[in-house]
Amino acid sequence: MSRVPLKPVAVAALCVMALGSFNAASRAADYTLNTLAEGLAFPWSLAFLPDGDILVTERDGQLRLIQNGVLQFEPVTGVPDSYVAGQGGLMDVRLHPDFEQNRLIYLSYAHGDGDANQLRVARAEYADGALTDLEVVFGAEPMKGTPVHYGARIAFMTDGKLLITSGDGFIHRERAQLLDNHFGKTVRVNDDGSVPDDNPFVGTDGALPEIWTYGHRNQQGLVVDPESGRVYLHEHGPMGGDELNIIEPGKNYGWPVATYGLDYSGARISPFQEYSGMEMPVEYWVPSIAPGGMTLYDGEAFPAWQGDIFVAALANMTVRRLDLENGEVQGQEILFADVGERFREVRTGPDGYLYLLTDSPDGRVIQVRPTGSSS
């Protein structure tokens, strides 16, 4: 039996550890955080206009404009009234893929009152700080009496169809498994709100034809990979059990039958973490990080991050970088913990920088750019 020389092994181990810490340190030093705007009331989402301006939604119902790097005092006009309560208000904003031609933007928001409210998505033409020709393209049915769990993320697929996440409304969790309602669903519509003929439940008795996937809880992250067409969705679990899923048409993502989470009381929501016929997440978090938004990084500014998913975490007050290979999570890095704020959203800018939204009554837009790059 040969003996392993301990001293060289120890030296090698120290070198590896030193190299590892150097890499971590250099990674951490690679970026600089720059506050682009502050004083925003619970900013929820942002959209980058072709001229370099940025639209930011505030949950209290305002759409704000950052023009030439300066937050404009006057909000955008023509925004639909939101039902602002609990988790509800004005939420997502997305540009139409052909925005430069049609000037259309899409907004998601809570509509109604405390007794009867719903997620709505509307589109309108945007020009010079104003919205005109507002048109509602989706309203979740039925109405509900809770101001929480709206979902409310919007994304355009590679075929130009519009995906919308609709949450379970908190007290309607079992209805996420039924196809006669929009609770806990992802819906797919044409850009005008009409239903595509190739949706999975078109022609199914008792099923709403807009439904694309079901069995979700509160999905606040939705990203389409422009290259593969793969659709990533993350959703809040209850106490534990936040999930990242790759969603495909007609499939059931388990809530509330299959979950890694527990009720806030500590009781089980279900005996099952897996269940036949229901899809498993590609990643899950126990305890919860409370994922609030997501981007698939495809910019040029951080080549090492290309193809990775970034998840903004509210409760965890970090951003998670998920190293993805062919849709599988290879590893996870915790970023921006030193900011010490809840993160609502993370987006990739056309300049290749990351943009973070912090979740507070004095919320910020933070630009993440490589150290040494010009502002």
Containing H/E element for 33? strand 31-40
User: Tell me, what DSSP letter sits at residue 106?
Assistant: E
Q: Which of the residues 62 through 121 are near another protein (CB under 8 A)?
A: 86
Out of 111, 149, 216, 234, the active site residue is 149
Q: Does 147 bind another protein (CB under 8 A)?
A: yes
CB of 86 to another protein, least distance (A): 6
The rounded distance, in Å, linking the Cα atoms of 71 and 79 is: 17
Question: Which listed range, 118-126, 129-137, 271-279, 358-366, lies at the site for another protein (CB under 8 A)?
Answer: 271-279
Member of 8, 266, 303, 340 binding another protein (CB under 8 A) = 266
Which of 173, 142, 162 lies closest to 235 in space, CA to CA? Answer: 173
Site for another protein (CB under 8 A): how many residues? 26
Q: Which of the residues 287 through 346 are near another protein (CB under 8 A)?
A: 287
Phi-psi region of 261 (alpha: psi -120 to 50; beta: other; left: phi over 0): beta
Whichever of 192 and 268 has its CB closer to another protein, that residue is 268
Q: Which of the residues 173 through 232 are near another protein (CB under 8 A)?
A: 173-174, 177-178
Q: How far is CA 126 from CA 21, 54, 65, 103, 341, in A?
A: 48, 12, 12, 6, 31
Whichever of 183 and 336 has its CB closer to another protein, that residue is 183
Q: Does 19 bind another protein (CB under 8 A)?
A: no
Residue 197: CB partners within 8 Å, gap ≥ 6?
none
CB of 261 to another protein, least distance (A): 11
Whichever of 127 and 267 has its CB closer to another protein, that residue is 267
Whichever of 99 and 272 has its CB closer to another protein, that residue is 272
Q: Which of the residues 150 through 179 are near another protein (CB under 8 A)?
A: 170-171, 173-174, 177-178
Whichever of 85 and 157 has its CB closer to another protein, that residue is 85
CB of 148 to another protein, least distance (A): 7
Question: Which listed range, 199-207, 254-262, 301-309, 342-350, lies at the site for another protein (CB under 8 A)?
Answer: 254-262
Residue 12: CB partners within 8 Å, gap ≥ 6?
none
Q: Does 148 bind another protein (CB under 8 A)?
A: yes
User: Quick check: 275 and 257 in contact, CB under 8 A?
Assistant: yes
Q: Does 254 bind another protein (CB under 8 A)?
A: no
The rounded distance, in Å, linking the Cα atoms of 190 and 311 is: 27
> Residue 70 corresponds to which amino acid?
V
User: Quick check: 190 and 196 in contact, CB under 8 A?
Assistant: yes
User: Can 111 be counted among the known catalytic residues?
Assistant: no
What the block records as the tokens of 138 is 């989706």
Whichever of 124 and 257 has its CB closer to another protein, that residue is 257
User: Quick check: 237 and 243 in contact, CB under 8 A?
Assistant: yes
Question: Which listed range, 124-132, 155-163, 269-277, 299-307, lies at the site for another protein (CB under 8 A)?
Answer: 269-277
Member of 26, 265, 326, 374 binding another protein (CB under 8 A) = 265
User: Tell me, what DSSP letter sits at residue 227?
Assistant: T
Long-range contacts of the stretch 338-342 (C-beta < 8 A, 24+): 339/33, 339/366, 341/317, 342/292, 342/313, 342/314, 342/315, 342/317
The rounded distance, in Å, linking the Cα atoms of 164 and 118 is: 13
Residues at the site binding another protein, with contacts judged by CB under 8 A: 86, 146-148, 170-171, 173-174, 177-178, 239, 256-257, 262-272, 275, 287
Residues labelled as active-site residues: 149
